[in-house]
Chains A and B, each alone.
Chain A
Amino acid sequence: MNVPTEHLLALAAILFSLGVLGFLTRKNLIIVLASIELMLNAANLTFVAGSRAWAAEGVTGGSPLQGPIFSLFVILVAAAEAAVGLALIIALYRLKQSVALDSAGELKG
């Protein structure tokens, strides 16, 4: 694949921004969580792009797999985050019968 690294990074930036937009504008907790996953994936793509670029330049100083290893850790954290987030959504739904972000506003100062 002879794609310039810039294009991979631009794709990551666009996906990340879409995630930010969803996170900021949506009220449904499930969709908010999905937006976070999208952002994490954009980060993964950046790792992959970087790893690929540095390996091609021959300046890795290690293996070409450093990027993917970080991506694996990100996937792991994303899994943990999704599990906790969904458990919180279930707990919130029990309390409020709603998954709207605004229904959990009691601690707002």
Chain B
Amino acid sequence: MAETLFYLLSIGAIACGAGVIRARMPLFSVLCLLGAFFCLSGIYLLAGFQFLAVTQLLVYAGAIMVLFLFVIMLLNLGDENEIARQSGIALSGKQLAVAGTSAGVFALIGVLTAGYGIAPVETASTRASGIDELQTLAVELFSRYMLPFEAASLLLLLTMIGVIAIAKRQRAGEPTHTGAGFPWTKEPLDEESTL
């Protein structure tokens, strides 16, 4: 039962991963990524890591993907072809071949070395009951991994400040591109839409 579920989820994750890189519209790419996250979350659950599964959903599905969608909607990004036309550059066959080969090599190396020196696992003895897992995790985080934990919090703070600094619009009067480029500021409202 659990094994079948694992292979189903794996197929789902790979299909969604292919969707991410094949999608014509960025929105579909992001939705496929969301699907892949769901499949991976299920796999973590099967492996007995409940907290990780929930965190995966909370952080990725609940926050990061919503942020992606927010940006896609803010910039009103539609068809990929527009971008290809704008940049005027399509990927040449040679470049595509190089990229495909390198990814293939990665996959080959990964699959060949997968499990090298690791004996097959007979049973999953890692499955801890929920609160034990949570408590063990907390104890580890606040003792053995105290320094990385604090560094991570610093990283988040810096990220917050950095993101605000990057994305903030400059005040009027400064020589900038204030508001320019957003779909609803690009042209003045025509009379039809004010009716």
Contact = CB atoms under 8 A, between A and B. Distances in A.
Contacts of A20: 99, 102-103, 106
B77 A21 contact: no
Contact of B6 (A3, A82, A86, A94): A3
Interface in A72-103: 72-73, 75-80, 82-84, 86-91, 93-103
B64 A52 contact: no
A20 B21 CA distance: 9
A6 B26 contact: no
A93 to B, nearest CB: 5
Contacts of B64: 37, 78-79, 82
Contacts of B169: 94
**Size band of the A side of the interface?**
35 or more
A45 B114 CA distance: 12
Given A6-B115, A98-B86, A93 B63 contact: no
Interface in B144-177: 144-145, 148, 152, 155-156, 159-160, 162-163, 166-167, 169, 177
B195 interface: no
Contacts of A18: 14, 17-18, 20-21, 103
Interface residues of B, number: 95
B75 A93 contact: yes
B17 A1 contact: no
User: Which residue of B20, B60, B95, B141 has the most chain A CB atoms within 10 A of its CB atom?
Assistant: B20
Contacts of A79: 59, 63-64, 156
A64 B132 CA distance: 12
Contact of B40 (A13, A44, A78, A94): A44
A73 B21 CA distance: 25
Contact of A63 (B23, B72, B119, B136): B136
Given A17-B106, A76-B156, A91-B166, A100 B118 contact: no
B16 to A, nearest CB: 9
A106 interface: no
A64 B59 CA distance: 22
A13 B87 contact: no
A2 B163 CA distance: 44
User: Which residue of B68, B102, B103 has the most chain A CB atoms within 10 A of its CB atom?
Assistant: B103
A10 B111 contact: yes
Interface of A: 1-22, 24-28, 30-31, 33-35, 37-38, 41, 44-45, 48-49, 51-53, 55-57, 62-69, 71-73, 75-80, 82-84, 86-91, 93-103
